[in-house]
Amino acid sequence: MKLYYAPGACSLATRICLHEAGIAAEYERVDLHSQLTEAGEDYSKINPKGSVPLLTLEDGQSLTENVALLDLIAQREPKLAVDGPLGRTRLIEMLSFLSTELHVAFKPFFHAASEAEKASAAETASRDLELLNDRLGEGYLFGPDFTVADAYLFAMLRWAVAFGVEMRSEKFAYFERIACRPAVHRSLKEEGLPLPRIEARLATLSF
Interface contacts to ligand GSH, rule CB under 6 A = 9-10, 32, 50-52, 64-66, 99
The minimum distance between CB 103 and ligand GSH, in angstroms, equals 6
Q: How far is CA 181 from the centre of its chain?
A: 15
Closer residue to ligand GSH, CB minimum distance, 99 or 147: 99
Residue 95 contacts residue 67 (beta carbons within 8 Å): yes
Q: Would you give the DSSP letter of residue 32? A: T
Residue nearest to ligand GSH (CB): 51
Q: Of 145, 130, 134, which is closest to residue 177 (Cα–Cα)?
A: 145
3-state secondary structure of 36: strand
Closer residue to ligand GSH, CB minimum distance, 31 or 138: 31
Closer residue to ligand GSH, CB minimum distance, 9 or 73: 9
The minimum distance between CB 51 and ligand GSH, in angstroms, equals 3
The minimum distance between CB 187 and ligand GSH, in angstroms, equals 15
3-state secondary structure of 29: strand
